[in-house]
Amino acid sequence: MWNGNRHAGFPLQGFSEDFGQYCRTIENFPKDNISFKDITPLLADNRAFRQSILKMCQPFYGKIDSIVCIEARGFLIGSAMAFNLCCGLIPVRKSGKLPYSVIRTEYEKEYGTDSLEIHADAIHPDQKILIVDDVLATGGTSKAIVDLVRRMHGNVIGCAFLGEITALKGRLKLDCPINSLITF
C-alpha cells in the first residue's frame, strides 16, 4: 500500500537524468516533413516526469508569480511546475475555448498560422511571468505569447521548455532567458 512518501528523498538513487531517452520522434506528424517530438513516454514514467519537473523548476523558486502555459501539452508541464513552485497558473487556449472576455493573438507556426487567447484579466501590471511549453521548435508560438504577456504589461521572467529542437533556432525569436531541459 502506498503511504504518500513514494518519492521522498531526492534525488532518486541510480536515476539517469538523460531525459531525452524518454522521448521519441514521430516522422510526418501532424503533416508531411514534420518530425514530431513525442513526450508521452516521459510523462508515463513516474520518475522521469517528476525529476524533469523538479529540474525545470530549480532556476525559478521565489522568482515568479505565475506560469503562463500553452495548450495543450504545455498544460501538463506548466501545471506540474506551478504546483511545485507554489505559484499561479494562467492557461492560454485555442480560440473559442475560454469562457470570459479574452485577448487574442495570431501567429505563424512551422506548419501554418493559428491563434491563441488568454483571459483579459489574467495578468496584472508587473506580474512576474514564466512562460512554459513542452517543446520549443520554430519559436512562433512562444514569441506570440511573450508579446501577448508584455502587451498585458506582465514582466516576462523567461521561458521554460521540456525540450528544444535546436536546428530550428526558435530561441533566436525570443528576447528573454530560455531554459530547456532536453535538446533534440
Does the domain at 19-183 match CATH 3.40.50.2020? Answer given as yes
Let me know if 17 is a catalytic residue: no
Per-residue model confidence (pLDDT) at position 113: 85
Here the contacts of 70-74 (C-beta below 8 Å, separation 24 or greater) are 70/116, 70/131, 70/132, 70/133, 70/141, 70/142, 70/145, 71/97, 71/116, 73/39, 73/133, 73/134, 73/135, 74/132, 74/133, 74/134
Pick the catalytic residue from 73, 117, 151, 164.
73
Q: pLDDT tens for residues 97-125?
A: 999 999 999 987 666 788 999 999 999 99
Pick the catalytic residue from 47, 110, 150, 171.
110
Q: pLDDT tens for residues 8-43?
A: 445 555 667 899 999 999 999 988 988 999 999 999
Let me know if 73 is a catalytic residue: yes
